[in-house]
Structure 1
Amino acid sequence: MKLWPLLTLNGLLGVPGAIAIGLWLLALPMIWVDTQFTIIGDPLPFWLAISAETARSLLTTIATAAITTLSMVYSIMLVVFTLAAGNIAPRLLQRFSRDRVNQITAGLLGGTFLYALTVLRASGPELRPEFSIFMAFLLAAASVLQVIHFVHSVSRSVTIDAEVAKISEQLEQQVNALLVETGAGSGELEESELKTALRAKQSGYVTVLDEAELLRIAREHDTSIAVRVAPSDFVLAGQTLAVAGFSEDDELAAEAVHAAIVLQSYRGAVNDIRFSISILLEIALRALSPGVNDSFTAVACTDRIAAALVKPVSEGMRGDVRCDQDGVARLAVPGLSLEDLFNMTLHPLRQAARGNVLMLDHIAVVLNSLYSIAGSDARQLIIDHARALLETAGAGDPISSDLDFLRKRLDFEID
């Protein structure tokens, strides 16, 4: 069993485990301080004064409460996961598991339990660790505040609009990263000269494609690299990940390229645009299904998708070739075009909205808004989607007044 996937920051083991172990180890220096500066018998301030019997009772109570609350926290998370999977989208479970509030809450409660047990074991007739006990009290207070914050966070997690907003914020960051011109260029990369094929060692989804690292490797070896896969692609073992110009015998360079293209057994990378889009689409399409029939949730998803398209529509998308600081073409990566983004998002929404006048009308409003800020390259693309929208509306056998109203929503000419 591989431990690395369990220790990443995107689950309920890595971060909580690190916090719990850190607080557990905190007990050792605190007990050492108490052994070196024993103040039993001296007048103590009120926030340190405590009898031996009360100290053991307090530590026992803190340890019991911490482990009980930890069980409650995981039970609540399980209920939230079940509700989210059934009512919103099953793929949201990966987002909940890497939520920092959930991770910190679990780690703090587990660490408080281990800390209190360790200090309790060190307590005795000859040692009453006042400073350690005071720290346990502070950890208990912090745990109470964190649990309150956790309940507030969980209550928002089952709100569809709040989750849609969070996903869309992440999607906007991912899409806007494609607009950054640093390291991008319009130069030509001669792929015919790249002879070394780097093949996948295992099957899986491409979850990380570190362009900066690949660019550094290419510059360091004075060559070029052409990547053949994109984030979210499923790759079979033995399939070509990239072709490079360095020698086949350069194992260090090959290992560095493999490390920059990460494969995992499941999708859900933080920087995977297609995965973020698929979550929003899943929520919207589920809302438009006859079994749910929640058009306003689909409208919210459409609005947030449109927000993510603002900068690509107005500023355009960068090309596939990346250049180093000297302007030399070093890296080619499969990119997303503006047409790809439109097709991935608007086509499924339009097709699912057939016969739904409310949703068709809102898609028209979104297209109209995007057209008002679009550059010359994007306007024809928006016109094509508007034409497809009218055709879809007509195929749903609407009354003539509804179709006329939809046409009037569009302020631009459709040839």
Structure 2
Amino acid sequence: MTGRFREWLEALGDIFWIRPSLLVLAGVVLGEVAVLTEQAGLTLPGVPRAWIYSGGEAGARALLSAVASSTIGVAGTTFSITVAALSLASGQMGPRLLRNFVRDRGNQLALGIFLGTFAYSLVVLRTVRSVDETAFVPHLGVTGALLLALACVGTLVWFVHHVATGINVETVIDLVHAELSAAVERLSRGDGEVADDPPADPPFGAAPAGRPVTLAGQGYLRAVDQAALADWAAGQGAVVVLLARPGAYIFPGAAVAEVAGAPAGEAAEAAIRAAFTLGARQAAAQDLEFAVRQLVEVATRALSPGINDPFTAIAVLDRLGATLCLVAPRRLPRPTVVREGRVVLHRQVTDYAGLCDAMFHMIRQSAAASPAVLIHLLETLGRVMAVERRAERQAELLRHAGLVVAAGRIGIADPGDLAALEARRPVPPRPGR
């Protein structure tokens, strides 16, 4: 699956109305099928006749009208509950986490079931005719409306439970952590270009200087079709140097890449523009730090004076530590892409040091006066160090441990708390480990 296609799928998930619209369409189609089946005189094999609605046209109209009016009212209630949940989540966990609630399939499906039942009832209701109008009662359609109404009752009960658990901070943290783990597994898989170990010899040389390429538009860089760009550069005998990576904000007229060795400047600019996807929001398809920033935002908001919830920050640190343990046996992407033994693309990537900086800097700064969070941060670094085997990564973890101790010495006034903090400082691994 290409990065552009993955970003397109992610963008579809951000559109709240797609699933409800499909369910409304399904309700319309199902209603038409039920009416046509009744008009054709067909029956449902294996279904007892007693289970099928057998009343007259007045009862059918009353029942269908009741189902339609009640489901559209409940749909408005579910929408109001969703908006209230979004407002609560925005105030406590940050507005950027609203994306996870908008993308939630449960919220979309619940609203779609109510709206689909409403559409189904209307489609069937329009076919009910009295004796004066050539009597017709869609018994199968009315029975279907009864079944859908019962399904709506169950959906409403489930939806209340889903919203109540969905706004729980632990649930939100787990959802974001699952997205981060998926990004780690997706972006660090070996494909011949994903080794971050420093080789014995200089890698492939410094990135060459070339003609700058600018974009007229602006917005967040959501995805780069790096494979297509590398293939184009290999075919042209050029070298492309990307000056921005997914997650960065692109300014209009600013250089986003440099191209060296290309014969035609306009062709190079067209290839770069075709490979870039901009948007109003960041995306997780190619940005490893996207979910990290979401988790860090939850922790820093929890540590603000207005909330003062160190337990939430500790829960975030547990997930960040688990992510680093997941990264331990993996190799992060290299900043170069090779085609036929020649470097054709230089790109900006997230290395281990940058990943740790994104995880711990802001939390450490916000928790400078919170001994409990700083102590747990040191414990997390120590547990990750016990799993990590690479010396350069262990050195990075020790660097952050030193920054935590230094912050504690400045922000912690109680000598006992400071002593407890320093006692948990990770010990450097023994040589030859």
TM-score normalised to the size of structure 2? 0.83
Q: Please state if 1:315 is matched with 2:330.
A: yes
Moved more, 140-149 or 210-219: 210-219
Change over 3 Å in CA distance of 1:65–1:405 after alignment to 2 = same
CA–CA separation in structure 2 for the residues paired with 1:119 and 1:282: 49
Spell out, residue by residue over 1:100-133, the C-alpha distance to the aligned partner (whole angstroms, 9 max, x if none): 1111111121121111101111222333223333
Determine the C-alpha separation between the residues in 2 that align with 1:389 and 1:343.
12
Residue number among 234, 239, 248 corresponding to 2:254 in the alignment: 239
Instruction: Name the residue aligned to 2:404.
Output: 389
Which stretch has the larger CA shift, 154-163 or 220-229?
Answer: 220-229
Aligned pairs (5 A) from 1:364-403:
364-374=378-388, 375-403=390-418
Q: In structure 2, do the counterparts of structure 1 residues 198 and 67 end up closer, same or farther at CA, with 3 Å as the change threshold?
A: farther
Instruction: Specify the SS of the correspondent of 2:65.
Output: helix
1:156 maps to what in 2? 165
In structure 2, how many angstroms separate the alpha carbons of the residues matched to 1:149 and 1:34? 33
Closer, same or farther: CA 143–331 of 1 in aligned 2, 3 Å: farther
- Matched letter for residue 369 of structure 1: R
| Alpha-carbon contact 1:383-1:414 (below 8 Å) kept | no
Report the residue type matching 2:253 in the other structure: G
Residue in 2 that maps onto 1:176: 185
The equivalent residue for 1:204 is 219
Q: Give the 3-state SS of the residue equivalent to 1:322 in structure 2.
A: strand
Q: Which moved more, 1:302-311 or 1:326-335?
A: 326-335
| TM-superposition CA deviations, 1:37-80 (whole Å, max 9, x none) | 367xxx98112242222222221111111101100000101111
Contact map agreement 2:214 2:253 (CA 8 A) in 1: yes
2:155 aligns with 146
Which residue pairs with 1:72 in the alignment? Answer: 77
Question: 1-side partners of 2:306 and 2:220: how far apart?
Answer: 31
Identity %: 25
Tell me how far apart the structure 1 counterparts of residues 239 and 34 of structure 2 sit (CA, whole Å).
55
State the match for 2:121 in structure 1.
116
Deviations 1:179-202 (A, max 9, x none): 21115157748854865x553241
Any stretches of 5+ residues in structure 1 without a counterpart? none
2:297 corresponds to which of 282, 304, 309: 282
More deviation, 120-129/311-320 = 311-320
Q: From the superposition, tell whether residues 262 and 400 of structure 1 become closer, same or farther in structure 2 (CA, over 3 Å).
A: same
Q: Which amino acid aligns with 2:185?
A: N
Q: Which residue of 2 aligns with 1:345?
A: 359
CA drift of 1:370 comes to: 1.3
Q: Secondary structure at the match of 2:51?
A: coil
State the shift of 1:400 in Å: 3.9
2: CA distance, partners of 1:30 / 1:198: 59
Tell me how many residue pairs correspond in the alignment: 404
- In the alignment, which residue of structure 2 is the partner of 1:254? 270
> What corresponds to 1:58 in structure 2?
63
* Structure 1 pair 383–49 and aligned structure 2 pair: CA distance change class (3 A): closer
Structure 1 residue 295 corresponds to structure 2 residue 310: yes
Deviates more, 1:271-280 or 1:286-295: 271-280
**Structure 2 residue matching 1:262: 3-state secondary structure:** strand
Aligned equivalent of 1:18: 22
Q: Could you say if the C-alpha distance between residues 322 and 183 of structure 1 is closer, same or farther in structure 2, counting changes exceeding 3 Å?
A: farther
Greater alpha carbon shift after TM alignment, 67-76 vs 29-38: 29-38
Change (3 A) 1:44 1:351: closer
Q: What TM-score do the two structures reach when normalised by structure 1? A: 0.86
1:156 Cα deviation from its structure 2 partner: 1.1
Letter in 2 for 1:336: T
Separation in 1 of the partners of 2:363 and 2:397?
15
Q: 1:130 to 1:225 in 2, by over 3 A?
A: farther
Amino acid at match of 1:66: T
CA RMSD of aligned residues (A): 3.1
